């Protein structure tokens, strides 16, 4: 290191001198000068300890995601990116050299070379150019669907009751019309009779849920629910050029933020349910970037937040790292924020009293820094600069480092529409997921039942109460979460007393009540 480098920069650089494989973020920045021989890095092995990328609009968060994603891909780690604004597709193409790129590379000591990544493009329900990503209503589960529909606690519990009835009576909920059919049946005279032992659903609550479902379908969201259902194992693939970067197009659903944020949570919940425990690896199996994270937490129920916290805490041991992307750390609940070991904080603005409070709160979440006045630094960072602290190879926080970030080597902007279409058409997954199918399910079964002159009631089997509870049920009871929230509702208590352990098995399918029984 040059003798002209200040001691403060040397001390910071020593904290990032890792011996194992690492991602190169940039160079230490002090008093407006970037020190190319003082690199800021993050060890590959700690990326499953999760992270946060935050900053005001226009400060370079998207390019930071692109920078991290392409380096992960180059080291064989698959990546998931949600493309909110439609400008992440460039990760598939080599970048274009230019004066600004060359100048940035020289400032941070980067050997910049254009490079694209192997990419799969997806779209929710086919609303976009990508391969359609769908989920059945059954696997999506009542808790996540209640979040999408903005239901209150009573309505959420009633929806859970509908799922229980459908599960126990062989009524497959593949799409929204299946769910609508079951709710309509359960509020009919015949359905009410069958629900006597389960607590019942009021006509007013059913009406609210049905209206919410109709509104959701009228907005085009019905296309997201159905078959063929997306297998989240597709996100873990690698190709000849490195780990596959899965880009989920979301511009077509920007006006339905609650839906896409909840759908991202379904992807994570499904991964958590399926992946085996692996402990700490030398590199993660997948790094998942959760963009616009504040939309997930806004208005979330206590049970929902508990489930998110548990998922974030436990999915680390399955080799998955999650980076939440939002404007300020205060957008993320403290219980979740405490799980995020790697931080990249872009500039914040302090134009209003609320902005000043957010700035103060952000500063308080960083380790103390003798080299920086973080309040001043965070308001003076330029585009492509950030304050960084990560976990070292030993798991200890690194020194806070103001950083001038490297330039992505892939294209900083969207690829041409023709290139995007060619990539999707040439994908091996296109034939597997492109065309929707509609199998016989609850809608058809209930319609056939109504057409019979005297339909026999579908029995609701109740197992003996002395059946031994499985370990999973015991753990769920001890930890609270979704099961505790549902069981505290009066509408389910009477049924729980009679149904015993079978009810526990139905509700505790996963932290979010999601189900993979269809596979």
- Of 385, 415, 445, the residue that ends a domain is 415
Residue-averaged pLDDT of the chain: 85
Residue 485 pLDDT: 43
Copy the structure tokens of residue 248. Answer: 């989920």
Of residues 100 and 512, which shows the higher confidence score? 100
Same domain (yes/no): 257, 401: yes
For residue 257, pLDDT over 60 is answered with yes
Q: Domain range spanning residue 323?
A: 7-124+248-415
Place of tokens 């040397």: 10
DSSP letter string, 261-279? HHHHHHHHHHHHHHSPP--
Q: What is the pLDDT of residue 458?
A: 52
Residues 182 and 204 in one domain: yes
Q: Is residue 174 over pLDDT 80?
A: yes
Question: Tokens standing for 211?
Answer: 């209206």
Judge whether residue 142 has pLDDT over 50: yes
pLDDT on residue 383: 94
Instruction: Indicate whether 308 and 384 sit together in one domain.
Output: yes
For residue 331, what is the DSSP state?
Answer: G
Supply the DSSP string of 128-193, one letter for each residue.
Answer: SSSEEE-B-HHHH-HHHHHHHHT--HHHHHHHHHHHHHHHHTT----SHHHHHHHHHHHTSHHHHH
pLDDT class of 2 with cuts at 50, 70, 90: low
Can you give the pLDDT at residue 3?
Answer: 58
CA distance 42 to 16: 7
Pair 119, 142 in one domain? no
Note whether residue 331 is domain-resident.
yes
Instruction: Please check whether residue 242 is in contact with residue 75, taking contact to mean a CB–CB distance below 8 angstroms.
Output: yes
Q: Does 16 share its domain with 78?
A: yes
Q: Is 395 left (phi over 0), alpha (psi -120 to 50) or beta?
A: left
pLDDT digits (tens, 9 = 90+) for 307-318: 889 889 999 999
Q: Is pLDDT above 50 for 476?
A: no
Percentage of the chain lying above the pLDDT 90 cut = 61
Q: Considering the domain boundaries, does residue 235 fall inside one?
A: no
Task: Determine the Cα–Cα distance for residues 90 and 70; give it in Å rounded to an integer.
Answer: 11
Q: Are residues 206 and 278 in the same domain?
A: no
Same domain, yes or no: 45 and 189 = no
- Would you state the pLDDT for residue 153? 87
**The pLDDT of residue 197:** 67
Specify whether 252 is located in the same domain as 385. Answer: yes
138 contacts 518 by C-beta, under 8 angstroms: yes
3-state secondary structure of 85: coil
Q: For 390-417, write each residue's pLDDT tens digit.
A: 999 999 999 999 999 999 999 999 999 9
CA distance 198 to 168: 12
Residue with the larger pLDDT of the pair 302 and 496: 302
Say which range, 117-126, 417-426, 500-509, has the weakest mean pLDDT.
500-509
Lowest average pLDDT, out of 84-93, 95-104, 146-155, 250-259, goes to 250-259
Burial of 448 (0-12, 13-18, 19+ CB in 10 A): exposed
Determine which helix (DSSP H) or strand (DSSP E) holds 288, and give its type and residue range: strand 286-290
Of 364, 383, 415, which one is at a domain's C-terminal end? Answer: 415
Contact 237, 285 (CB under 8 A): no
Contact 134, 224 (CB under 8 A): yes
Output the six-digit token pair for 500: 């015993």
For residue 483, what pLDDT is reported?
Answer: 37
**238 in any annotated domain:** no
Flag whether pLDDT at 39 surpasses 50. yes
Q: Which residues contact 82 (CB under 8 A, 6 or more apart)?
A: 248, 250, 260, 264, 289, 290, 291, 292
For β-strands 22-30 and 51-54, DSSP reports them as unpaired
Closest CA to 45 of 15, 23, 69, 71: 23
What is the pLDDT averaged over residues 218-229? Answer: 88
Task: Say whether both 269 and 401 belong to one domain.
Answer: yes
> CATH number of the domain that 112 lies in?
3.40.50.300
Say if residue 275 is in the same domain as residue 352: yes
The answer to the question of residue 385 being in a domain is yes
| Tens-place pLDDT, residues 157-171 | 999 999 999 988 999
pLDDT of residue 5: 83
Q: Assign 325 to helix, strand or coil.
A: strand
pLDDT in tens, 372-392: 999 999 999 999 999 999 999
Same-domain check for residues 176 and 97:
no
Q: Which strands make up the sheet holding 245-249, listed edge to edge?
A: 33-43, 22-30, 401-405, 385-389, 342-345, 51-54, 320-326, 286-290, 79-83, 245-249, 119-124, 131-133
Smallest CA-to-CA distance from 330 within 361, 304, 297 is with: 361
Residue 478 lies in a domain: yes
C-alpha distance from residue 161 to each of 90, 153, 169, 424 (Å): 45, 12, 12, 40
Q: Is the pLDDT of residue 18 over 50?
A: yes
468 pLDDT higher than 60: no
If pLDDT is split at 50, 70 and 90, which confidence band does 512 have? Answer: low
pLDDT for 507: 35
Q: What is the pLDDT of residues 283-314, one digit of tens each?
A: 999 999 988 888 888 877 787 888 889 889 99
The mean pLDDT value for 26-54 works out to 96
- Three-state helix/strand/coil letters over 423-480: HHHCCCCHHHHCCCECCCCHHHHHHHHHHCCCCCCCCCCCCCCCCCCCHHHHHHHHHC
Share of the chain above pLDDT 70, in %: 86
Q: Give the mean pLDDT of 95-121.
A: 96
- How many domains is the chain partitioned into structurally? 2
**211-225, 336-350, 483-497: least confidently modelled range:** 483-497
pLDDT at 287: 97
| 256 and 115 together in one domain | yes
Torsion of CA 460, 463, 469, 474, to 10 degrees: 30
């Amino acid at each position: 290191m040059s003798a002209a480098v200040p001691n403060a920069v040397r001390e910071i650089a020593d904290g990032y001198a890792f011996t194992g494989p690492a991602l190169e973020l940039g160079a230490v920045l002090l008093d407006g000068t970037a020190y190319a021989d003082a690199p800021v890095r993050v060890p590959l092995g700690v990326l499953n300890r999760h992270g946060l990328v935050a900053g005001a609009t226009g400060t370079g968060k998207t390019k930071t995601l692109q920078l991290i994603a392409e380096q992960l891909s180059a080291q064989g780690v698959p990546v998931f990116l949600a493309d909110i604004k439609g400008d992440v597709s460039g990760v598939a193409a080599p970048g274009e050299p230019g004066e600004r790129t060359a100048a940035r590379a020289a400032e941070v000591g980067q050997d910049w070379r254009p490079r694209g990544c192997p990419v799969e493009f997806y779209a929710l329900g086919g609303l976009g150019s990508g391969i359609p990503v769908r989920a059945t209503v059954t696997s999506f589960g009542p808790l996540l669907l209640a979040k999408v529909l903005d239901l209150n606690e009573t309505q959420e519990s009633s929806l859970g009751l509908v799922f229980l009835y459908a599960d126990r009576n062989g009524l497959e909920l593949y799409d929204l019309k299946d769910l609508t059919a079951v709710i309509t049946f359960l509020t009919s005279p015949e359905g009410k009779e069958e629900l006597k032992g389960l607590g019942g659903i009021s006509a007013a609550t059913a009406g609210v849920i049905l209206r919410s479902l109709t509104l959701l379908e009228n907005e085009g969201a019905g296309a997201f629910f159905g078959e063929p259902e997306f297998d989240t194992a597709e996100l873990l693939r690698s190709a000849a050029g490195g780990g596959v970067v899965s880009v989920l197009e979301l511009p077509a659903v920007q006006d339905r933020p609650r839906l896409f944020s909840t759908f991202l949570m379904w992807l994570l919940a499904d991964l958590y349910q399926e992946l085996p425990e692996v402990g700490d690896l030398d590199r993660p199996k997948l790094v998942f970037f959760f963009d616009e994270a504040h939309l997930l937490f806004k208005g979330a129920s206590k049970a929902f937040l508990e489930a998110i916290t548990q998922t974030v805490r436990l999915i680390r041991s399955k080799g998955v790292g999650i980076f939440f992307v939002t404007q300020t750390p205060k957008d993320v609940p403290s219980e979740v924020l405490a799980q995020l070991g790697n931080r990249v904080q872009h500039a914040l603005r302090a134009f209003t009293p609320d902005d000043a409070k957010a700035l103060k709160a952000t500063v308080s979440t960083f380790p103390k820094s003798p080299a920086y006045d973080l309040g001043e630094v965070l308001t003076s960072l330029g585009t492509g600069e950030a304050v960084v602290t990560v976990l070292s190879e030993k798991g200890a926080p690194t020194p806070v480092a103001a950083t001038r970030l490297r330039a992505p080597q892939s294209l900083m902007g969207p690829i041409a529409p023709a290139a995007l279409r060619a990539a999707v058409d040439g994908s091996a997954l296109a034939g597997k997921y492109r065309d929707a199918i509609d199998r016989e399910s609850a809608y058809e079964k209930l319609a056939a039942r109504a057409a019979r002159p005297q339909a026999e009631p579908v029995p609701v089997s109740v197992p003996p109460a002395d059946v031994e509870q499985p370990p999973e049920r015991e753990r769920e009871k001890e930890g609270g979460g979704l099961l505790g929230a549902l069981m505290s509702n009066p509408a389910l208590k009477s049924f729980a007393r009679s149904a015993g352990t079978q009810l526990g098995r139905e509700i505790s399918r996963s932290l979010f009540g999601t189900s993979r029984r269809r596979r």
